[in-house]
Chain A
Amino acid sequence: MNETDVKRDKPPVTVSPGVRLGRVSFVWRPWLVLVTVLLTAATFLVFCVSIGVGDFPIGLPQVVTTLLGQGEQVDEFVIMDLRLPRALAGLVVGIALGVSGAITQSVARNPLASPEILGITWGAGAVAVFLVTVSGGTTTAVVNSVGLSAAALAGGLLTGLLVYFLAWRRGIDGMRLILIGISVSAVMQAITTWLLVQADIRDVARAQVWLVGSLDNRSWDDVRVALWCTLVLLVVVAGAAFQFKPMHLGDEVAAGLGVRYTVVRAVLLLCAVLLAAVAVSVAGPVAFVALVAPQVAMRLTRCPTPPLLASGLVGALLLIGADLVARAGLPITLPVGVVTAAIGGPFLVYLLVRGNLRQTDR
C-alpha cells in the first residue's frame, strides 16, 4: 500500500497543455475518450445482436450488411420493417433517459434527482392512463399509439414544469426539487391508481401494458418523431454543455465565472424534461435507467460529475440489453422495465461497494 504512495511523488505542477486542431482546442482525457469509444462499440454490438434475435434468427454479419443496405431481400424486410423500429426505439429511449438523468442529477447536485423521482415519468403515465380510461372504446382509433404518445409527452412536460415552478424559490435548491418531485409523483401515482380502479376492465388491461414499460410492437410511426425530437434536443444539450461545466461548482461560483446560470439551467432542465417525456411516450415509464445510467457512466469514466454522452450510451446499452434479455434470455417474457431494474440495481450496488472497498484499502 505504501508503495503506491511513493509512486505518486511526481514532478510539480503538471497541467495538460491540451489538444489543438486548428481553431478547436480541448482538454485531452484519454480514459474518458477510451471508455466512450468502447461504450459506443458495445452499444452498436448489442443493437445488432438485438436485431438478429427473434423467431427468425439472423446472423450478426447479415444484420450489419443489411443495415448498410447490402443485404438480401428477406433479411431486409425482417430487419428494416419489423425489428429495426424496436431496436431504434430502445436506442432512442435509452439515450434520452441517460442524458436526461445526467442533467437532472447535475442540476440538483444529487444522484437521487432522476426524471422518475422528479415526477416526469408518473405525470406522463397519469395523463396516458386518463386518456385510455376516459375515452374508453369510443375513440380507440384516435387514441392508438400516436395519441397516447402525444398525451404522455404533454403529461410529462406539464408535470416537469409544475415541479420546477413549485420548487422555485429564489433559485433552485436540489433537495427542495427532489422533495417536491417525490410529492408530485406520489399524487400522480394516486391519480393513476384511482383511474385504473374506476375504469372498464378492458381499458385497464390496455393501460397496464403501457404502464409497465415495454418496447413491444413499436413501428416506424412510433419511433420516427421520437428519433427527430431526441436528435434536436441532443444538439441543444451539446450546445449548452460548455456553459454547464462551471455549474457543477454551485450557482454562485458559476455566476462568478460569467455563466448566466438561470438561463443555462432552465434550458437544460427543459431539455431533460422533454427527453424524459419523449422516452416515456415511446416506451412507457421504464424504471431505473435514468437513475442508474449516469452513476454507472461516472464510475466507468472516473469523472466526478455525470458525463452527458457516456450517460446516454450507458442508458442505451442498459435498455437494449435488458430488452434482449427480456425477449430471449428468460423462460418467460418480462416487460423491459422489470429487467432494467434487475440489471441496473445490482450493478450500481456493485460499483458502490467496490468503491468502498478501495477506500478502506487505503
Chain B
Amino acid sequence: MAAQSITEIESGTDDDTVSDIASTSGSTAGSLTGSGDRGAARLAARGVTVGYAGRTVIDGLDVSIPPGVITTIIGPNGCGKSTLLRTLTRLLKPAKGTVVLDGEDIARLRTRDVAKKLGLLPQAPVAPEGLTVADLVARGRHPHQSWLRQWSSDDADVVARALAMTGVADLAERPVDSLSGGQRQRVWISMTLAQGTDLLLLDEPTTYLDLAHAIDVLDLVDDLHESGCTVVMVLHDLNLATRYSDNLIVMREGSILAQGHPRDVITAELLHEAFGLRAQVIDAPVGDSPIIVPLGRTHV
C-alpha cells in the first residue's frame, strides 16, 4: 500500500481534474529526488499579519513551503502555529500580506479551485454519529462534484484507492464513531486524500493519540510523502517532529526563529530560546535526525 502514488489515484478520473492535478504536480516532480528546497514553493506567505478580534498573533511573517517534502511547524502553545496553518489554507484572512498558492494569490482563487489543489485536515474533526467510513471518505470528492453530477464511477475509483492507501478499506462499512482514535485519524486523512490534491495540510494529526497510534498516523504521512505529496503539519511532540520531517519551522510569539532540516536546526540553545526548555540534543542511534532529551528541573 505504501508507494501507490497520488497521481495514480487520479489516473482514473476523466474530466478537468486530471489536467488540474497534472499541472500542479509538474512542479513537484523534479524536487522529489533532490533536496527539495530548489523547486518553486508550492505555498508561501508574504508579509502576512493575522489576528483574532483586534489581537495580532502573527505580524509581517514570510515563509515558503518547499515542494515534495514534509514540513512541520513546531513552537510553544499560543505561538501562532495553528494560526499560520489556518492562514495558509485560507481559513483565516490576513489583515495584511498575501498567501501564494502555486504562484497565485490564494484570496483571488475560487474556494473550490483551492480545494482541488490543497487538502486540509483541521484539528480534531468530528463526524456525525453513524456516518460510515466510506461515506465520510466519499465527501472528500465534493470539490470535483456539482449539483447535477453528484457521484460518478470515477469518484468511486478515487475513493476506493484512498481507502486502500490509508489501510481502512476493510472498515468501509463501519460507523466512524465506532473506530479507535488512530483508525479515525486515518479515515480523515483518507478523506483529504480523496480530494485528489498533492498538497496536504494537517493540523495536529496526532493529538489525543497514544504513541503507537501516533507513529501509525505519521507512517501514513511518510507513505503520502513517498507517493509525491507535499505535507505541512503542526505537531506538539518535538521528537516525532524531528524524526518525521525534512523541514522544520520553529516559531515563537508569532515569528519564525529557525527553518531547515532538523539536524541543522535543533540545538539546545534554540530549544531554550523557543520553549524555555532545558534539554540536551544527541544524535539518534538510528537515522540522521537528532533526539531531544529534556532535562527538566531535576533529571540531570
* Chain A interface residues toward B at CB < 8 A: 8, 10, 12-20, 23-27, 109, 170, 239, 242, 245-246, 248-250, 252-253, 255-260, 304-305
Quick one: which of B106-163 are within 8 Å of A by CB? 110-116, 118-122, 125-132, 134-136, 138-140, 142-143, 145-153, 155-157, 159-160, 163
Let me know if B115 and A249 touch, CB within 8 A: no
Q: Write out the residue numbers on chain B whose beta carbons fall within 8 Å of the beta carbon of A15.
A: 134, 138, 156-157, 159-160, 163, 172
Let me know if A253 and B122 touch, CB within 8 A: yes
Contact of B121 among A10, A17, A170, A256 (CB under 8 A): A256
Let me know if A246 and B148 touch, CB within 8 A: no
- Bound together, the chains give a CA A14 to CA B116 distance in angstroms of 25
Contact of A252 among B125, B127, B147, B152 (CB under 8 A): B125
Let me know if B164 and A13 touch, CB within 8 A: yes
The 9 closest A-B pairs by CB, nearest first: A258-B115, A256-B120, A252-B122, A304-B130, A18-B151, A258-B112, A258-B143, A304-B131, A17-B153
**B170 interface residue per 8 A CB criterion:** yes
11 pairs from A and B in contact (CB 8 Å cutoff): A18-B150, A18-B156, A25-B151, A109-B128, A239-B147, A250-B122, A250-B126, A256-B91, A256-B118, A256-B120, A304-B132
**B289 interface residue per 8 A CB criterion:** no
Q: Write out the residue numbers on chain A whose beta carbons fall within 8 Å of the beta carbon of B53.
A: 170
Interface class of chain A by DSSP: loop
**B210 interface residue per 8 A CB criterion:** no
Let me know if B152 and A20 touch, CB within 8 A: yes
A109-B128, A250-B122 known; A18 and B169 CB under 8 Å? no
Let me know if B152 and A18 touch, CB within 8 A: yes
Q: Write out the residue numbers on chain B whose beta carbons fall within 8 Å of the beta carbon of A27.
A: 138, 150-151
Let me know if A26 and B138 touch, CB within 8 A: no
Let me know if A26 and B151 touch, CB within 8 A: yes
Give the Cβ gap from A29 to chain B, nearest Cβ, in Å: 10
- Bound together, the chains give a CA A329 to CA B145 distance in angstroms of 49
Let me know if A17 and B139 touch, CB within 8 A: no
A12-B169, A15-B172, A20-B152 known; A258 and B114 CB under 8 Å? yes
Q: A14-B173, A27-B151, A242-B150 are in contact. List 6 more A-B contacts (CB 8 A).
A: A25-B151, A256-B120, A257-B195, A258-B142, A260-B111, A304-B132
Interface class of chain B by DSSP: mixed
Give the Cβ gap from A343 to chain B, nearest Cβ, in Å: 25
Give the Cβ gap from A249 to chain B, nearest Cβ, in Å: 6
Let me know if A304 and B138 touch, CB within 8 A: no
Let me know if A13 and B160 touch, CB within 8 A: yes
Give the Cβ gap from A281 to chain B, nearest Cβ, in Å: 30
Q: Write out the residue numbers on chain A whose beta carbons fall within 8 Å of the beta carbon of B119.
A: 256
**B89 interface residue per 8 A CB criterion:** yes
Let me know if A23 and B148 touch, CB within 8 A: yes
Q: Write out the residue numbers on chain A whose beta carbons fall within 8 Å of the beta carbon of B195.
A: 256-257
User: A-B pairs with CB below 8 Å: how many?
Assistant: 123
CB nearest neighbor in B for A9? B170
Q: Write out the residue numbers on chain B whose beta carbons fall within 8 Å of the beta carbon of A12.
A: 164, 169-170, 172
- Bound together, the chains give a CA A15 to CA B143 distance in angstroms of 18
Let me know if B128 and A304 touch, CB within 8 A: yes
- Bound together, the chains give a CA A12 to CA B145 distance in angstroms of 25
- Bound together, the chains give a CA A265 to CA B130 distance in angstroms of 23
Let me know if B128 and A170 touch, CB within 8 A: no
- Bound together, the chains give a CA A12 to CA B173 distance in angstroms of 10
Give the Cβ gap from B294 to chain A, nearest Cβ, in Å: 32
- Bound together, the chains give a CA A250 to CA B191 distance in angstroms of 14
Q: Write out the residue numbers on chain B whose beta carbons fall within 8 Å of the beta carbon of A23.
A: 148-149
Q: Write out the residue numbers on chain B whose beta carbons fall within 8 Å of the beta carbon of A25.
A: 148-152
Let me know if A17 and B115 touch, CB within 8 A: no
Q: Write out the residue numbers on chain B whose beta carbons fall within 8 Å of the beta carbon of A253.
A: 120-122, 125
Q: Write out the residue numbers on chain B whose beta carbons fall within 8 Å of the beta carbon of A260.
A: 111
Give the Cβ gap from A167 to chain B, nearest Cβ, in Å: 16
- Bound together, the chains give a CA A253 to CA B116 distance in angstroms of 14
- Bound together, the chains give a CA A1 to CA B195 distance in angstroms of 38
- Bound together, the chains give a CA A246 to CA B135 distance in angstroms of 11
Let me know if B122 and A256 touch, CB within 8 A: yes
Let me know if B169 and A256 touch, CB within 8 A: no
Give the Cβ gap from A178 to chain B, nearest Cβ, in Å: 17
- Bound together, the chains give a CA A26 to CA B151 distance in angstroms of 4
Let me know if B155 and A18 touch, CB within 8 A: yes
A8-B173, A18-B155 known; A259 and B142 CB under 8 Å? yes
Contact of A255 among B120, B126, B138, B153 (CB under 8 A): B120
Contact with A along B156-191 (1 / 0, CB 8 A): 110110011000011011010000000000000000
- Bound together, the chains give a CA A241 to CA B180 distance in angstroms of 31
CB nearest neighbor in A for B116? A258
Q: Write out the residue numbers on chain B whose beta carbons fall within 8 Å of the beta carbon of A256.
A: 89, 91, 115, 118-122, 192, 195
CB nearest neighbor in B for A28? B151
- Bound together, the chains give a CA A260 to CA B113 distance in angstroms of 12
Give the Cβ gap from B112 to chain A, nearest Cβ, in Å: 4
Let me know if B125 and A259 touch, CB within 8 A: no
- Bound together, the chains give a CA A10 to CA B260 distance in angstroms of 47
Q: Write out the residue numbers on chain B whose beta carbons fall within 8 Å of the beta carbon of A255.
A: 89-91, 111, 120
Let me know if A245 and B139 touch, CB within 8 A: yes
A23-B148, A27-B150, A170-B53 known; A257 and B139 CB under 8 Å? yes
- Bound together, the chains give a CA A253 to CA B89 distance in angstroms of 11
A18-B151, A249-B127, A252-B122 known; A13 and B142 CB under 8 Å? no
CB nearest neighbor in A for B120? A256
- Bound together, the chains give a CA A146 to CA B71 distance in angstroms of 64
- Bound together, the chains give a CA A316 to CA B136 distance in angstroms of 30
Let me know if A252 and B146 touch, CB within 8 A: no
Let me know if A17 and B122 touch, CB within 8 A: no
- Bound together, the chains give a CA A17 to CA B152 distance in angstroms of 6
